[in-house]
Amino acid sequence: MDSWRAKGLAVGLLWLRVLMGLGMAYHGSGKVFGGQMDGFIRGVSSMGFPLPGLFAWAAALSEFLGGLLIVMGLATRPAALFVLVTMAVAALVRHASDPFQVKELALAYAAMAGALVLTGPGPIALDRFLGRWCCQKETVSTQQ
């Protein structure tokens, strides 16, 4: 990170990950820990999904755990992909007939998740730290 542009990109992706991830984790925590799962499962069932309990838990955990993983920059692309799919379903299926103002938050989260799927976490992330650590360890062991 030798240039201002590279530093700005690194900090910008960190900023995006932290704010987006905390927001997703907050929304998911209400479902997972806040006693909202029964209603959420009924809502998923009303959309016609098979195995609504499974899909509801998958969506809630993709919000909560996916959000936390994104904040840490750990398994960022897979976590962001799960969030992207979950938010796309929320915006385009659950809120299909609702006005844009209702869909707006889900679409914003989907856009942010999509950006992270495409860019990755940036250099300030556990993904990068663990990758460097793994690669250094392999390099040292192969030189011996």
Per the structure, the count of domains in the chain is 1
Between the two ends of the chain, the Cα-to-Cα distance in Å is: 30
pLDDT for 86 equals 96
pLDDT for 52 equals 92
pLDDT for 141 equals 45
Reply yes or no on whether the pLDDT at 126 is more than 80. Answer: yes
Which pLDDT band, with edges at 50, 70 and 90, does 144 fall under?
Answer: very low
Which pLDDT band, with edges at 50, 70 and 90, does 136 fall under?
Answer: low
Which tens digits make up the pLDDT trace of 8-17? Answer: 999 999 999 9
Its domain, for residue 25, covers 4-143
The candidate with the shortest Cα–Cα distance to 14, out of 63, 65, 72, 66, is 72
pLDDT for 135 equals 60
Helices (H) and strands (E) in the chain, counts: 6, 0
Reply yes or no on whether the pLDDT at 140 is more than 50. Answer: no
Which pLDDT band, with edges at 50, 70 and 90, does 127 fall under?
Answer: confident
Which tens digits make up the pLDDT trace of 83-113? Answer: 999 999 999 999 999 999 999 999 999 999 9
Which tens digits make up the pLDDT trace of 20-74? Answer: 999 999 999 999 999 899 999 999 999 999 999 999 999 999 999 999 999 999 9
d(CA 81, CA 24): 13
